[in-house]
Amino acid sequence: MKLIVSVKRVIDYNIKVRVKADNTGVDLANVKMALNPFCEIAVEEAIRLKEAGVASEVVVVSIGPTAVQEQLRTALALGADRAIHVETDELPEPLNVAKLLAKVIEAEQPGLVILGKQSIDSDNNQVGQMLAALAGRPQGTFASEVKVEGGKVLVTREVDGGLRTLSLDLPAIVTTDLRLNEPRYAKLPDIMKAKRKPLDVKTPADLGVELKQHITQLKVETPAQREAGIKVDSVDALIDKLKNEAKVI
Amino acid sequence: MRESMEFDVVIVGAGPAGLSAACRLMQQAREKEQELTVCVVEKGSEVGAHILSGAVIESRAMDELFPDWKEMGAPLNTPVTADEVYLFKSDTAAKKVPNALIPKTMHNTGHGLNNYVVSLGNVCRWLAEQAESLGVEVFPGFAAAEVLFNDDGSVKGVATGDMGITAAGEQGPNYMEGMELHAKYTLFAEGCRGHLGKLLIEKFQLDIHADTQHYGVGLKELWNIDPGKHRPGLVIHGSGWPLNTGGSYDTTGGFFLYHLENNQVVVGLIVDLNYTNPWLSPFDEFQRMKHHPVLADHLAGGNRVAYGARAITKGGFNALPKMTFPGGLLIGCNAGTLNFSKIKGTHTAMKSGMLAAEAVFEAITAGDKSSKELSSFNDKFKDSWAYDELFRSRNFGPAMHKFGPILGGAFNFVDQNIFAGKLPITLHDEKADYAQLKPADQCPKVDYPKPDGRLSFDKLSSVFISNTNHEEDQPCHLKLKDASIPIAQNLPLYAEPAQRYCPAGVYEVIEEGSGPRFQINAQNCVHCKTCDIKDPAQNITWVVPEGAGGPNYPNM
């Protein structure tokens, strides 16, 4: 069975995010970038399925400028077999990403697609669900356990108040939650080998997808600084403030 | 048995020295059409993540390494356009020092000099790209934790640290054993007070003919300033208040403020680590210094983007250890090639790396199988401009230490401007920095003002913007030889100075019911190495934590 894993290049989770002076976005100049942690978990899960003999090939896909090849190489060093880079100037919005991935799936015919549940930069949590709809395949989101058994995948999902296990027909779309696994470190010899693993570059046109813009980002702002609170000396004063100043009662 | 990999050359540290060596090695291999395998390991999560420097750099070494660096897009974008030097008389008064009275080595314009205000981190990122495109394997996120030796005692290579060891010292779920990297020659380019370099200096007694090494700690911030105040290429240096206000307050050091590109300014303070008052806090000196009108004028209305700190090897020529030993070399600040009289070390570090690369390549092409000591490097180094300028500046630091900043400065003016460093005398300074502290009860306490949150900040919010992170569940990388010393000895004698000299708040003395307790917050460590240098009992040993830990400096 072939597995497809999509990965995204995002700002490293250790970095304090800084908004550009003109409020057009986040300042990424010379800032450390990394594999999105949820995508890293997706890669790890795929490699484990391959090591367990369930999967025969792991293909990683990323969409964006040339720089995303760095993250594809990281995934290859972790154990993926080959990579597909869909080259775009910008990081496209979720629906475009889902459309591009749907075309990749159409061409590759994988048995299972694993994605991170969301990226830590835009936090949309949409691509997996959109992809399932576009591909007309079942979806198991927020997976904390994945088991492949007899043509089905059992996905344990973290839901409010407990765990819910679904049985999905393959091919299926699975998105990962944080507790699914703890990703491994890449080994030095594997990082060297990853440089020679196949990496195909495609354009949206090659895949027959026209990127459309549905969302316009108006402004990015730093959250307002919280002002220091005050102490009131009596309950009456508190009620007065709530009533007349905050106007909440 | 650990796995191993074989290379012709292994380089520890992706800074200016290590990357210049890597590039020069590959350039020679290409010229001679010879196969050569070179690997660089770097403990930072990416190249540049742990690089912290002013920086004004002289382009001389870069001109030699990549003559067309400009066309290649090296990030040397801001030539120095103006040079100002101040003597701060008090927290408000300052005297601008006329150019004619400044030691020549400190001039950044004129004299046919090509100096640039840069982010050294970004220069290193660029050098790493060049190295990779020349065929060097660059591995960020891998810390060289151990030196490996051959049976004959020569250096065989290094081993990277194990990953995924828990705080209790056990193998965690994602444990990965370290790897041995074997090489014909290993170059150590860890920067100031490299922990492997320190071991090598001791083992091979590289410093027996050198003076005691001296250090400073540099603290730096990157600011976005009001575009109306931005003067790209303006370089300001100075000394005096707050470190030296006469009397017993006589610490040497100096500040800098450079205007970079994109409305950005760097501001910093270097505090010489031979200071004597254990109450002194380099971090708080730096914070209060920014309130001086000369500096506040540039910063007011701006906002702080990044913070970091790093020790500096500043002993210069007299303290320079032997740089060669069987199987390898110490290069750059790991040896101590910084020219303190110029307040610059990048060009000499790069040059030392390039010369090492030439000596190593010659030895390898001559068919050397064994790991010899490359004495040819010493001849190359002696014939180089790097040696010449370090020799001429040999008295600069010792004069400051011996005569103080005013008379020492006067000596340096005469020595550098009239005799061009060729006076037939050499001053020495043999007392180690850690031995300089006086007992706390003999020194005035320092009452530092509270940070105002606009120009000055507290330690923790500062460390926060160094983007420092260490995998939490790992053994502490700051080793105490004797765990009782901080409380039993350092606290009564020196009021445990680690609480103050550490610029990242790693060390704390916490009062508890049962008495004071020494706490090490290793996850805050910005890898500056000051504790390894300044602890009066030399009780703290800095070792590398798990690879990729530490600061993530952007544009520093």
Question: Inter-axis angle of helices B375-382 and B346-365, to 10 degrees?
Answer: 140
B354 neighbors B64 (Cβ within 8 angstroms)? yes
Q: Computed over its alpha carbons, how large is the radius of gyration of chain B?
A: 22
pLDDT in tens, A9-45: 999 999 999 999 889 999 998 899 999 999 999 999 9
Distance CA A140, CA A157 (A): 7
Instruction: Classify residue B113: in a domain, yes or no.
Output: no
| Average pLDDT estimate for B502-509 | 97
User: Best of B51, B138, B176, B261 to disrupt the A interface by mutation (most A CBs within 10 Å)?
Assistant: B176
Instruction: Classify residue B271: in a domain, yes or no.
Output: no
pLDDT at position B245: 75
B339 neighbors B108 (Cβ within 8 angstroms)? no
The residue of chain A nearest to residue B159, with distances taken between CA atoms, is A188
Domains identified in chain B, total number: 1
Smallest CA-to-CA distance from B101 within B376, B505, B409, B465 is with B409
pLDDT at B98 over 80: yes
| Average pLDDT estimate for A178-194 | 95
Domains identified in chain A, total number: 1
pLDDT at A91 over 90: no
pLDDT in tens, B511-535: 998 999 999 999 999 999 999 999 9
List the domain range (segments joined by +) for residue A88: 2-245
Q: Give whole-number Cα distances, A233 to A79, A244, B162, in Å.
A: 63, 16, 57
Q: Which of B346, B462, B466, B530 is catalytic?
A: B346
φ and ψ of B14, to 5 deg: -100, 60
CATH of the domain at A38: 3.40.50.620
B379 neighbors B355 (Cβ within 8 angstroms)? no
The residue of chain B nearest to residue A182, with distances taken between CA atoms, is B174
Distance CA B380, CA A223 (A): 57
Q: Which residues in chain B are closer than 8 Å to A192, comparing Cβ atoms?
A: 137
Interface of B with A in 19-78 (CB under 8 A): 45-46, 48-49
Is A222 an interface residue toward B (CB < 8 Å)? no
pLDDT at position A229: 84
Instruction: Classify residue B431: in a domain, yes or no.
Output: no
CA end-to-end span of chain B, whole Å?
40
B454 classed as catalytic = no
Burial of B151 (0-12, 13-18, 19+ CB in 10 A): exposed
ipTM of the complex: 0.88
Distance CA B263, CA B389 (A): 33
pLDDT at position A190: 96
B36 neighbors B14 (Cβ within 8 angstroms)? no
Categorize the per-residue pLDDT at B298 as very low, low, confident or very high, splitting at 50, 70 and 90: very high
Distance CA A25, CA A243 (A): 39
Amino acid at A199: L
Tally of CB atoms within 10 A around A10: 22
B124 classed as catalytic = no
Is A18 an interface residue toward B (CB < 8 Å)? yes
φ and ψ of B59, to 5 deg: -85, 5
pLDDT at position B369: 67
pLDDT at position B99: 80
Categorize the per-residue pLDDT at B370 as very low, low, confident or very high, splitting at 50, 70 and 90: low
Smallest CA-to-CA distance from B556 within B278, B307, B243 is with B307
User: Distance, in angstroms, between A77 CA and closest chain B CA?
Assistant: 12
pLDDT at B111 over 80: no
Instruction: Classify residue B379: in a domain, yes or no.
Output: yes
pLDDT in tens, B85-96: 999 999 999 999
pLDDT at position B248: 64
Is A193 an interface residue toward B (CB < 8 Å)? no
Q: In which element (H, E) is residue B319 found? A: helix B316-319
pLDDT in tens, B22-78: 999 999 999 999 999 999 999 999 999 999 998 999 999 999 999 999 999 999 999
Q: Which of B23, B333, B443, B525 is catalytic?
A: B525
pLDDT at B410 over 80: no
CATH of the domain at B23: 3.50.50.60
The residue of chain A nearest to residue B132, with distances taken between CA atoms, is A195
- Interface A-B, measured as beta-carbon pairs within 8 A, has a size of 56
Q: Which residues in chain B are closer than 8 Å to A31, comparing Cβ atoms?
A: 554
User: Distance, in angstroms, between B463 CA and closest chain A CA?
Assistant: 11
Distance CA B388, CA B208 (A): 22
B285 CB-near residues (< 8 Å, 6+ apart): B242, B243, B251, B269, B271, B448
Distance CA B24, CA B358 (A): 7
In eight-state DSSP terms, residue B378 is H
H-helix segments, B171-275: 195-203
Question: Inter-axis angle of helices B385-392 and B375-382, to 10 degrees?
Answer: 70
Rounded (to 5) percent helix, strand, coil in chain B? 30, 25, 45
The residue of chain A nearest to residue B463, with distances taken between CA atoms, is A16
In eight-state DSSP terms, residue B424 is S
pLDDT in tens, A226-243: 888 888 999 999 999 999
In this structure, of B36-50, B194-208, B385-399, B456-470, the range with the lowest mean pLDDT score is B385-399
Is B137 an interface residue toward A (CB < 8 Å)? yes
Is A17 an interface residue toward B (CB < 8 Å)? no
List the domain range (segments joined by +) for residue B33: 4-68+120-210+321-392
Instruction: Classify residue B142: in a domain, yes or no.
Output: yes
In eight-state DSSP terms, residue B547 is T
pLDDT at B419 over 90: no
Q: Which of B53, B252, B371, B462 is catalytic?
A: B53
Q: Which residues in chain A are closer than 8 Å to B467, comparing Cβ atoms?
A: 12, 14-16, 32
Categorize the per-residue pLDDT at B486 as very low, low, confident or very high, splitting at 50, 70 and 90: very high
